[in-house]
């Protein structure tokens, strides 16, 4: 039987008239990477705050390692590593001082692992945190979150404002390594390509509800993107069985669909069209088909309205 690290049942949370979470069920097993995706204000950070015990479940239950993180914060939090989007670490400390300070709180702190990561990221332990670039601060904050080798690592928008090189260092070298050691990673990100590249499992949240929750393998096998053509001009997008989103005009259309390829081809053929080519849909295409395209403000700010 697979060991559950996180088990959330029927969790709801209101902030005034805003429904931040609406009857959410979520599970995470040991040794996997879970990508949490959703537009700005979808409820991702609210969910993470419940995992950390920063918010008490008013409706439903939250269990981490079988414990309530609010009732037993010491037992739960010592097994969690957390990196927030803001990456709040004390400016007045040097990197080495932060490592020793953080290590004092964790009996499982691995100084050798911390030193290895500092070397990997080419970070000078003597440097003051206030002198570091945004990317270097993110690297230091991540090391302090993972060097005690937590059973559960939670990353809230870990790539926010970082360049591609730093993102690759953080997510490839650390996140995947932790999951392969039998630990669990949950990370929230607005960068869907990143989630698709690293995740074993994807959970999509929209307006506080879970709209998709499955392994990436199943998601990929169940969603396709097909290009279709008609002999005559179409006055409106065609109606097709299994279609989640249709774009295009005239004679050519692109369709994201969940139907089997045989069923989809028959559906297109019945209305006088032909399928030109098909492929597995990307996570971004699936997201847009289910949620709609986020506006520019959401993608640039990506801060939760429910914080």
pLDDT higher than threshold 80 for residue 148: yes
Instruction: For tokens 């419940």, name the residue.
Output: 50
Domain ranges of the chain: 4-214, 224-280
Q: Which of 149, 216, 203, 176 is nearest to 28 (CA)?
A: 203
Stretch 187-215: mean pLDDT:
91
**How far does Cα 205 stand from its chain's mean position?**
10
pLDDT higher than threshold 80 for residue 169: no
SS3 at position 237: coil
CA distance 26 to 22: 12
Stretch 168-193: mean pLDDT:
81
Query: pLDDT band at 241, cuts 50/70/90?
Result: confident
CA distance 124 to 215: 39
Residue 108 tokens, joined: 């499982």
Instruction: Kindly list the distances between the CA atom of residue 6 and the CA atoms of 10, 27, 151, in Å, as whole numbers in the listed order.
Output: 13, 5, 11
* pLDDT (0 to 100) of residue 294: 53
CA distance 304 to 306: 5
Query: pLDDT band at 173, cuts 50/70/90?
Result: low
pLDDT tens, position by position, 66-117: 999 999 998 999 999 998 877 778 889 999 999 999 999 898 999 999 999 9
* pLDDT (0 to 100) of residue 304: 42
Q: Which of 142, 163, 164 is nearest to 87 (CA)?
A: 142
Helices (H), the chain: 44-51, 73-77, 95-103, 111-120, 134-146, 164-170, 176-180, 192-198, 216-222, 261-270, 283-291, 296-301
| Average pLDDT of the chain, as a whole number | 87
* pLDDT (0 to 100) of residue 126: 95
CB neighbourhood size of 250 (10 A)? 11
How many alpha carbons fall within 13 Å on the CB side of residue 57? 26
Stretch 45-52: mean pLDDT:
94
Q: Which of 55, 52, 62, 60 is nearest to 27 (CA)?
A: 62
Fold observed for domain 4-214: Rossmann fold (3.40.50)
């Amino acid at each position: 039987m697979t060991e559950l690290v996180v088990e959330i049942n029927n969790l709801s949370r209101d902030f005034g008239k805003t429904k931040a979470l609406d009857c959410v069920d979520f599970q995470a097993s040991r040794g996997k990477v879970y990508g949490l995706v959703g537009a700005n204000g979808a409820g991702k950070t609210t969910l993470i705050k419940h995992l950390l015990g920063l918010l008490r479940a008013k409706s439903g239950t939250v269990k981490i390692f079988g414990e309530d993180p609010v009732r037993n914060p010491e037992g739960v939090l010592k097994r969690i590593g957390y990196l927030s989007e803001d990456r709040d670490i004390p400016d007045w400390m040097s990197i080495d001082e932060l490592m020793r300070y953080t290590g004092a709180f964790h009996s499982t702190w691995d100084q050798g692992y911390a030193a290895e990561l500092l070397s990997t990221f080419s970070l000078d332990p003597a440097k003051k945190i206030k002198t570091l670039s945004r990317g270097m601060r993110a690297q230091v904050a991540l090391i302090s979150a993972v060097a005690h080798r937590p059973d559960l690592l939670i990353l809230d928008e870990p790539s926010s404002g970082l360049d591609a090189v730093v993102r690759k260092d953080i997510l490839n070298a650390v996140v995947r390594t932790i999951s392969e050691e039998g630990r669990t990673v949950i990370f929230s990100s607005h960068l869907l390509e990143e989630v698709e590249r690293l995740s074993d499992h994807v959970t999509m949240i929209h307006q506080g509800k879970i709209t998709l929750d499955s392994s990436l393998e199943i998601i990929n096998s169940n969603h396709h993107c097909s290009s279709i053509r008609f002999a005559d001009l179409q006055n409106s997008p065609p109606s097709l069985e299994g279609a989640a989103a249709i774009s295009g005009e005239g004679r050519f259309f692109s369709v994201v669909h969940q139907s089997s390829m045989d069923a989809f081809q028959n559906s297109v053929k019945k209305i006088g069209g032909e399928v030109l080519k098909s492929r597995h849909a990307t996570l971004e295409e699936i997201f847009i088909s289910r949620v709609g395209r986020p506006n520019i403000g959401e993608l640039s700010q990506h801060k939760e309205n429910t914080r």
